[in-house]
Structures are given as C-alpha cells and as structure tokens.
Amino acid sequence: MTDQSQQPDRNLALELVRSTEAAAIRASAWAGRGQKNEADGAAVNAMRQFLHTVSFDGVVVIGEGEKDKAPMLFNGEHVGDGTGVQVDIAVDPIDGTTQTAAGRPNAVSIMSVADRGSMLDASSVFYMDKIVTDRTGVGVVSLDQSPEDNIRELARAKGKPVGEMTVIVLDRPRHEELIERIRSVGAKTSLILDGDVVGGINAASPWGDADLLIGRGGSPEGVITAAAIKAFDGFMQGRLAPKDDAERQRGIDAGLDVDRIYGGDDLVASDNTFFVGTGVTDGVLLKGVKGPRDGYIHTQSIVLRSKSGTVRWIEADHLASKWA
C-alpha cells in the first residue's frame, strides 16, 4: 500500500485539468478541417507544456508510443516539475482524432493518474476485449460468457426487459457478428465510431444512457477506462487480444498474461485514481470547445476521483487573447 503522504491528493486533478483544457482548445482549431495529424500534434504540444508546470513526478505509462516513434508524451517520459507525489499517468491528448478531423461528435482530451507502479502497461498488445457496466454487473457478467447471456443476465439483475437494454459497440467490421448477436436477443445497439473510453464511462456511470459496453478496442484505452470508472464503482474486465503470434510473444515477453481475464483492479491497482477529460467536440459525455465568442473560449470538463467517489463538472471561460 502506498504511503498516504505519497498518494496524489485531491488538488492534483484540478491542476491536471488545465492540461486537458489546453489540449482541447488547441485541437478544436483543427476540428472539421480533415487534418488529424495536425490536430493531434497541437493537442500533444499543449498538454505536455501544461503538464510540466504541475507539481508532481509523473511517468507516462500510456502515451503516444515508444520514444523513437513519439518525441513527446512517449511511454516512459517523466512529466511534471519533478516535485511532489510520484504517479503513473496515462494520456490521450485526443481520444478521437478522426472525429476531430471530420468535425464529428465525442472527441475528448483525456488523462488518468494513479499511484506509481499501479497501472498495467499493456502497450505491447494493441487490442483488448472489454466488457464494462455499472456495479450491477459484478458477479453477473463476464468475458467468459456469451454476449447473449451477458445481456440477459444483466437485464435480470437490473430488473428491466432485454428489449430496453442498450449496448455500446465500436462500429468496426470486426464487430459485425457481435452486433448481430446483440440485436438477435432483442437488445439495442449504440454504435460509436471511436472513443470507447467515453463509451465505457457512459455504460458504467449513473447518468449514462447505455447499460453495457462490449467489444474489442485499444488496450491503452482499457487501462484509462478502468481508472475512470473506479469513481463510481463501475465494473470492467479486459482480455488481451494479440493480432498474431509475434504480438502474442511480445506480450508474454513484457510479462503479460495474454490468456487472463484482467479485472478493473488488475488494470489499475490503486484505490486513489483520477480521471480528467475535456470535450473537443460535442458528445454524450461533454460539450466541445466553443468560441471564441465575445472574447472568450468556453470549455467543459469532468474530473473523477475514486478515493472520494467524486464527480466534478467544470465549466471554464478562457480569455481568447491569451490563446492567440
């Protein structure tokens, strides 16, 4: 157990949200312009710049990739001013670069933080099969069960008809059969183009309009999701999905169990996690960046903290001349 004096404190998240706000504001200038690399680059630069002003010693466990491929916010990079608590940090300056470039909804700038050494580094295996729901799913749903059984059992636990169940799935060719199976039992699907972190929060939160997230998505996003949904005791399981034997071996060499079902506490062991996110474009979780209007840029953010079970919504107006 980490010493209390070395755990990230409640004020840290309010400092970190400045980084997601900055990333979202810079990325929003590229929304709808069809240039996702430029949007991502602007977000990365802004997030990193603000992170280095924060009083903490963070190590990027989940970032933009390895150092030789990503010059900034790469896996293993130290961020912060080097003082204060030591933490793991997972960042995605834009979860939804394609959505941003196309001007579509649900693009967000996100970040999770937890005690040093508590985040699973699953970066050697790109994909993970995931299932996410609220606390009702504990002991009810599992990746070992079929999608049909998971939907029926969760509906029974929630006391609602299967026909009223909504399941979030990434809209990908690999999920065509999964989508058909979900609909075959009478449940509804909510198909998302990208951003299964937001989808997981939607499925696990008390205000969400979905009951379940199922499917294969990025392993890094799975760890970020696990940190986020701890704030409201959400349920999650993940199982790594290597695309070939070579990737499977890379995972084994990295110390991962590619056949294991990882629970939320396996993905992020700390009981004191933070998640911060700021909307880039309008979506189901957050409103996107607005403005400049009347000299101000408006942002909406969310801050989740597991230790206190707190959800905070932050509306901010930024003087546009400071962002020129």
Cite the annotated binding site for substrate by residue number: 95-97, 127, 172-174, 194-196, 218
Q: Which amino acid is at 146?
A: S
Q: Residue type for 278, please? A: T
Instruction: Give me the helices (H) in 127-270, please.
Output: 147-158, 176-184, 196-204, 219-229, 245-253, 264-267
To 10 degrees, the CA torsion angle through 157, 163, 168, 173? Answer: 130
Separation in Å, CA 277 to CA 60, 162, 222, 250, 258: 17, 32, 15, 31, 29
Binding residues, as ranges, are 40, 64, 92, 95-97, 127, 172-174, 194-196, 218, 221
Longest dimension (CA), the chain: 56
On whether the CB atoms of residues 229 and 200 are closer than 8 A, the answer is: yes
CB < 8 Å & 24+ apart, contacts of 62-70: 62/89, 62/90, 62/91, 62/92, 62/119, 62/121, 62/123, 62/220, 62/223, 62/224, 63/90, 63/91, 64/91, 64/93, 65/123
Contact between 170 and 225 under an 8 Å Cβ cutoff? The reply is no
Q: Which residues are annotated as a binding site for Mn(2+)?
A: 40, 64, 92, 95, 221
Please choose, from the candidates 213, 263, 271, the residue with its C-alpha nearest in 3D space to the C-alpha of residue 238.
Answer: 263
**Calpha distance 118→140 (Å, rounded):** 26
Rounded Cα–Cα distance for residues 251 and 232 (Å): 30
What region, left, alpha or beta, does residue 253 occupy, with left being phi > 0 and alpha being psi -120 to 50 degrees? alpha
d(CA 110, CA 277): 4
Residue 111 is which amino acid?
Answer: M
Q: Where are the alpha helices (DSSP H) in 7-35?
A: 10-28
